[in-house]
Amino acid sequence: MKTNLYSTEEDTAESVHEYHDIVRASCTILRLADDMGSSLDEVERGDVPKSVQCYMNENNASEQEARKHVRSLIEQTWKMMNKEMMDSPFSTCFVEVCANLARMAQLIYQKESDGFGMQHSLVNKQLRSLLFEPYE
């Protein structure tokens, strides 16, 4: 059964709960990409440890080893998500939203820096241009 992204039927909500892997994968990529890009800045500001620091602590690993591990988790999650996208019970629109969330996360936190949180970063300027400047 293909569900409609805009449907308010109870079946659609139950389908998301039952077939949640594509949603989970998208959110996992977002979380891990965010951790790779902003973890050091956030920890310095007193935030809780992120996946990189947790891996370092739990495995007595260097930061470089931890980042390599998190990158491999992102890669594995993309493989799972691509598989889920091919055989998803959801509408194409919903599947694309999930994929685009993961893609945007990797764009924003590309090169393992906080492209969104840094006020003068290239990504921040591009997002501001996209959202607030008229298209010519």
Residue 3 falls inside a structural domain: no
Nearest to 84 by CA among 19, 15, 17: 19
> Which tens digits make up the pLDDT trace of 12-58?
566 666 668 999 999 999 999 988 887 676 777 777 888 999 999 99
Answer whether 0.85 is exceeded by the pTM. Answer: no
Residue 1 falls inside a structural domain: no
Residue 37 falls inside a structural domain: yes
Rounded to 10 degrees, what is the CA torsion of 66, 41, 26, 121? -120
Domain count of the fold of the chain: 1
Q: Which domain holds residue 97?
A: 12-132
pLDDT of residue 71: 94
Residue 67 has pLDDT above 50, yes or no: yes
Residue 2 falls inside a structural domain: no
Residue 72 has pLDDT above 80, yes or no: yes
CA-based end-to-end distance of the chain? 42
